[in-house]
Amino acid sequence: MSLKVTLIACSPEPEKLIAASAKLCYSDTSATQLMNGLTDEKTASFVEMLANIGHESPIEHVSFTFGIEGVSRTLLAQITRHRIASFSVQSQRYVKKSNFIYITPPEIEKDEKALEIFNKAMSESFEYYNTLTDILKKKHIEELTANGMDEKTAQTRAEKMAIEDARFVLPNACETKMVMTMNARSLMNFFRMRCCNRAQWEIRELATQMLKLCYDKAPTLFANAGPSCCKGACPEGRMTCGKISEVRQFFDNLKKSAD
C-alpha cells in the first residue's frame, strides 16, 4: 500500500487569521474588526512581512488536520516525537490484523534476494500472529465461560484479549493509519527537519506531501517552508547531503506545481 495523505480540515481563512492576530498586538481595534478589514492583498503582504522578520507566534493560531494512510509503525515512532501535535492512531489492540498490510522499504524492493527474505519474514510474522491469537483466544474463552460469561460475549471479549498480546510479534513494517493535527508553527519545524535529505525516506515523503497540501491552502504562509537549506545554510555541518541547489530546486518546483 502506498503512502496517502489528505488534508481533512484546517482553520478557515488561515492567512487572514494570522494577520489579524498579529495586528491585534499593536492595535486598539477588535479581532473581528481587524479580520473584516483585511483584503487578500493586505493579508498576503502582512503574512509575508511576518515570515521575513521571523515573528512566528501568531501562526500558532492556525491548525491543519491530516488523514494519513499507508505508513509503517516505524514512521509512527518518529512522527510522535513531534510533541506539539495531536494524534489518533489505528489501534493494534482493538483492530485485528486479518488483512496484513506491510510497508516495503524501496532499497529492499530493488534487490530480488533482499525482497524474498523480507516477504518471508513478513509472512512468518503474520502466521505467528494468527497462531498466537488462536491459542490465546481459546484459553480466554474457556476462562470467561467458566466464570459465567455467555458464549457470544466471551468470543468477542476473548479475541480482544488475545490480539492485545499477539500483536507483540507484528513487525515495524506493519501498516497503520492516523489522523494528525499540528499548528502552523509546529508544521514549519516539522518541514525543516523532515523534508531534509537526511530524514528517513518514509517520513520525508510524508512531509513533502503534507507541505504541498499546506502550500496549496496557504501559499504565502508556506512560501519559505521546507528543509532548512531552502532559506539559508545547511545546519548539518559535515553530515550535509551536499545537494543544496538540487534540494532548493525540488521544493521550488513542488510549490509551482501546487499553484
How does pLDDT run across 44-90, given as a tens digit for each residue? 998 998 888 878 899 999 999 999 999 999 999 999 999 899 999 99
pLDDT at 29: 86
Please state which of the ranges 45-49, 120-124, 190-194, 248-252 shows the lowest mean pLDDT.
Answer: 45-49
Please answer whether residues 210 and 82 qualify as being in contact, where contact means their C-beta atoms are separated by less than 8 angstroms. no
pLDDT at 83: 86
Indicate if the pLDDT at residue 13 is higher than 80.
Answer: yes
Point out the catalytic residue in the list 194, 198, 204, 248: 194
In angstroms, rounded to a whole number, what is the distance separating the alpha carbons of residues 36 and 100? 51
pLDDT at 1: 64
Tens digit of each residue's pLDDT (9 = 90 or more) over 170-223 = 999 999 999 999 999 999 999 999 999 999 999 999 999 999 999 999 999 999
204 assigned to active site: no
- How many residues in the chain? 259
Tens digit of each residue's pLDDT (9 = 90 or more) over 97-113 = 777 899 999 999 999 99
pLDDT at 223: 92
Q: Where are the strands (E) in the chain, listed by range?
A: 4-10, 63-72, 86-89, 175-183
Please answer whether residues 87 and 180 qualify as being in contact, where contact means their C-beta atoms are separated by less than 8 angstroms. yes
pLDDT at 100: 83
Please answer whether residues 140 and 31 qualify as being in contact, where contact means their C-beta atoms are separated by less than 8 angstroms. no
- What is the band of 26 on the pLDDT scale with cuts at 50, 70, 90? confident
* pTM for this entry: 0.91
pLDDT at 87: 96
